[in-house]
Amino acid sequence: MTPGQWLGLLGGGQLGRMFCHAAQAMGYQVMVLDPDLEGPAASVADKHLCAAYDDAQALDHLADYCQAFTTEFENVPAQSLAILARRGHVAPGARAVEIAQDRMIEKTFIQSLGVQVAPHIAVNTLKDLDHVPSSLFPGILKASRLGYDGKGQVRVASLEQAKHAYIDHLEQVAAVLEGMVPFVEEISVVLARGRDGQCVVFPPARNVHHHGILAVSHISGQPSKVYEQAVASAQTIAEGLGYHGVLCVEFFVLADGQVVVNEIAPRPHNSGHYTQNACVTSQFEQQVRAMSGLPLGSTELLAPCVMLNILGDVWFPYDTDERVEPDLASVLAIPNVSLHLYGKKEARPSRKMGHINVVDQNFANAVDRANEVVEILNLPIRASLSSH
Ligand code: AMP
């Protein structure tokens, strides 16, 4: 698939928008299938098919134009990817996406590869909770499907609370009860794997979440045993899936340095946004290269980086309905700051609106400058130097 041809994308969110930018920068045209009329990707796509992900006619139309397809959203019907696979190359494939769509299936699969996951039990009915060992409390009850950024999750301290939470929030849906992992930090590994099995791995990111949503990623570029272990596990998972495309694996790091997989995402990931300014190749360019069957790019880190997420809360500094434009000019006056906004018209609390990458050859300087941004935008989490 040489530049100039059409690439097909399922999903129209910010990841799709940044995919379009990367593809277009390389001379490709992108056709986006997304049911939302005004999604972030639709407004920059070369062509937008506004239809459901399983609309047979739309899939047919997509396949008439494009010979390679990808997704920016793990909850597209795997069946749609299987249909497109009959007409061209699909990266990632239906099976990998299907596994990542269901927490229980995903955990079972990862465990079967000898990679550690959080202790858990499937909860498909209220009765299943009677078999939960007490060691899983305190825990988190999570919907098996369609949860993200902490959505569809309830923290429970006891069996009684778990039962209430299940009845109130999750009855009739398949769920997983996970024991709370006493992690000392969270890290993630983004990799790209080609059709030929070639695998390239970006430097791991250390991530801090706020209310279940990524707030800050730190990429110091310092090697560590923990990172080596995480990279090896991520590669094992990619190989086990026969994966093709960009994959993210999120980990908890325990006090003894062991890593435990939290979840996987069969697409570029928020914690890989730093690659846009800090690496030779961005995760989105890598997605373009992988699906097109081109050689994968270098994942070399050009400079340490801090990535700050900008949520809609930034537009509502007084915790009221009063909307205030953030002082982005002051943010951009700070050296080495790159702003990425997703073009979302409406800012809402907790909604991902954009991110900021701060790069510097000296990681401590990147942290200091990131904290100047934190001050100006009144972000909830400060960047920090600490590491495992
Ligand atoms: P998730 O949507 O599953 O990635 O969860 C969002 C965030 O909630 C994670 O990044 C963790 O900070 C926290 N979390 C989720 N599951 C667990 C767990 N089993 N133990 C401790 N923290 C968790």
Fold of 6-90: Rossmann fold (3.40.50)
pLDDT for res 388: 44
3-state SS assignment for residue 239: helix
pLDDT tens-digit profile of 53-79? Answer: 999 999 999 999 999 999 999 999 999
Superfamily of domain 183-377: ATP-grasp fold, B domain (3.30.470.20)
Residue 128: half-sphere exposure toward Cβ, Cα within 13 Å: 17
Contact by Cβ (8 Å): 330, 376: yes
pLDDT for res 80: 98
> What pTM did the predictor assign?
0.96
**Percentage of the chain surpassing pLDDT 70?**
98
- How far apart are alpha carbons 284 and 18 in whole angstroms? 7
pLDDT tens-digit profile of 21-42? Answer: 999 999 999 999 999 999 999 9
Work out the pLDDT band at 149, boundaries 50, 70, 90: low
The most distant pair of C-alpha atoms in the chain lies apart, rounded to whole Å, by: 59
Pocket test for ligand 1, best of 104, 140, 213 (most atoms within 8 A of CB): 140
Q: For ligand 1, atom 5, which residue shows the shortest CA distance? A: 150
pLDDT tens-digit profile of 319-360? Answer: 899 999 999 999 999 999 999 999 999 999 999 999 999 999
- CATH 3.30.470.20 in the chain is located at 183-377
Question: Is the distance from the beta carbon of residue 178 to the nearest atom of ligand 1 less than 6 Å?
Answer: yes
Question: Is the distance from the beta carbon of residue 145 to the nearest atom of ligand 1 less than 6 Å?
Answer: no
Could you tell me the distance, in angstroms and rounded to a whole number, from the CA of residue 333 to the centre of ligand 1? 35
Q: Is domain 119-179 in CATH 3.50.50.100, yes or no?
A: no
- Over its C-alpha atoms, the chain yields an Rg (Å, rounded) of 21
- CATH 3.30.1490.20 in the chain is located at 119-179
pLDDT tens-digit profile of 81-92? Answer: 999 999 999 999
